[in-house]
Amino acid sequence: MSASWKWPGSRWWRVDLHTHSPASYDFRSDADREAKNWTAWVSAEKSADLDAVAVTDHNTPDGISDIQAAAVAQSLWVFPGVEVTVGGIHLLCLFDPKCTRDDVVALLSKLGIEPFAFGRPDTSSSKSIVEVIDMATVAGAIVIAPHVNGPKGLLTMPPGLDRLRALKATGLIAAELGFPPPDPTGWIDPKNTDVQSWLDGTKIENRSLAQVWCSDSHAFDEAGGVPIILDESKRLSGRTPEYSLIDDSELRLVIWAAEGREAIREDQE
Ligand SMILES: [Zn+2]
Ligand SMILES: [Zn+2]
């Protein structure tokens, strides 16, 4: 990330690889989307204790330049990116922090998305999913399959050659998993053995994919995802969230409701 490395040994970075800014048509609220307060957006990410974020608005690069400019003053690393819609599926394409809006514009043009269509709810690439992955890789981006177990995620595509080719595309380096929301329609449990076998390489026709968890935040108060929930739980209940190891790969997280009773238990790998 930098020519000078100030941290001997290893260091943990808090990174959110999937965020939306007021440049996304579905950013909430309408007032925040129209105000386009980029400094406030960067502040929200910093307040969530993030060191770096990828800006991945829907089929548009329009927030990137303003966010990069605002991020300098607040020492937030920004990976310019975009969430591309193709064949009803979403794909995250992320560029190096040295890259700019122009790199995203050039990629979108190759994918058949021109400026007049930037950010519209119905915008979609004219290419195939595999072509998008390949073209983004050639352009220097890395590609992640977001909400892979939910609506518009690769694993919820109908089984068949298109899904197989997409999951096996060498440019696809990771899959973002998500917890199903209260209405789980269209979602598959991330711990489902079929989902896991697509990701850990045990399914015979597949290779393994790195798994990432991101916020997919669409509002200021969603910045950082889980950390915000933890902070709010602590503030409201006065009790610190508790972690305990279940086994080598699973962690139990307990957060508390305002009146102090246990609110949610989540097991997270
Ligand atoms: Zn999406
Ligand atoms: Zn998204």
pLDDT at position 182, please? 84
Highest-confidence segment of 114-118, 165-169, 181-185, 232-236: 114-118
Q: How many angstroms is it from 180 CA to the middle of ligand 1?
A: 14
Are residue 244 and residue 209 in the same domain, yes or no? no
Are residue 217 and residue 269 in the same domain, yes or no? no
Nearest ligand, measured from the Cα of 154: 1
pLDDT at position 11, please? 82
Q: Name the average pLDDT for the chain.
A: 89
Burial level of 233, CB count in 10 A (0-12/13-18/19+)?
Answer: buried
Q: How many angstroms is it from 53 CA to the middle of ligand 2?
A: 13
> Could you report the per-residue pLDDT of 149-200, keeping only the tens digit for each?
999 999 999 988 999 999 999 999 999 998 888 889 999 998 888 888 888 8
Are residue 230 and residue 97 in the same domain, yes or no? no
For the cut 90, the answer to whether the pLDDT of residue 144 exceeds it is: yes
Structural domain span for residue 250: 225-269
Q: Is the dihedral of CA 234, 67, 126, 130 positive or negative?
A: negative
Highest-confidence segment of 15-29, 211-225, 228-242: 15-29
Whether 9 maps to a domain, the answer reads no
Query: Would you say 241 and 229 are in contact if contact means Cβ atoms under 8 Å apart?
Result: no
> Could you report the per-residue pLDDT of 34-82, keeping only the tens digit for each?
999 999 999 999 999 999 999 999 999 999 999 999 999 999 999 999 9
Q: How many angstroms is it from 55 CA to the middle of ligand 2?
A: 10
Q: How many angstroms is it from 6 CA to the middle of ligand 1?
A: 35
Q: Residues lining ligand 2 (ion), CB within 5 A?
A: 83, 216
For the cut 70, the answer to whether the pLDDT of residue 248 exceeds it is: no
Nearest ligand, measured from the Cα of 20: 2
Say how many domains are in the chain.
Answer: 2
Whether 165 maps to a domain, the answer reads yes
Nearest ligand, measured from the Cα of 26: 2
Q: How many angstroms is it from 237 CA to the middle of ligand 2?
A: 30
Are residue 71 and residue 162 in the same domain, yes or no? yes
Q: Residues lining ligand 1 (ion), CB within 5 A?
A: 90, 146
Mean pLDDT, to the nearest integer, of 117-126? Answer: 98
Are residue 52 and residue 179 in the same domain, yes or no? yes
Q: What is the CATH number of the domain that holds 168?
A: 3.20.20.140
Are residue 148 and residue 98 in the same domain, yes or no? yes
Which is more confident, 205 or 75? Answer: 75
Q: How many angstroms is it from 27 CA to the middle of ligand 2?
A: 10
Q: How many angstroms is it from 239 CA to the middle of ligand 1?
A: 33
Q: How many angstroms is it from 217 CA to the middle of ligand 2?
A: 7
Are residue 173 and residue 207 in the same domain, yes or no? yes
For the cut 70, the answer to whether the pLDDT of residue 94 exceeds it is: yes
Nearest CA-CA partner of 23 in 156, 130, 119: 119
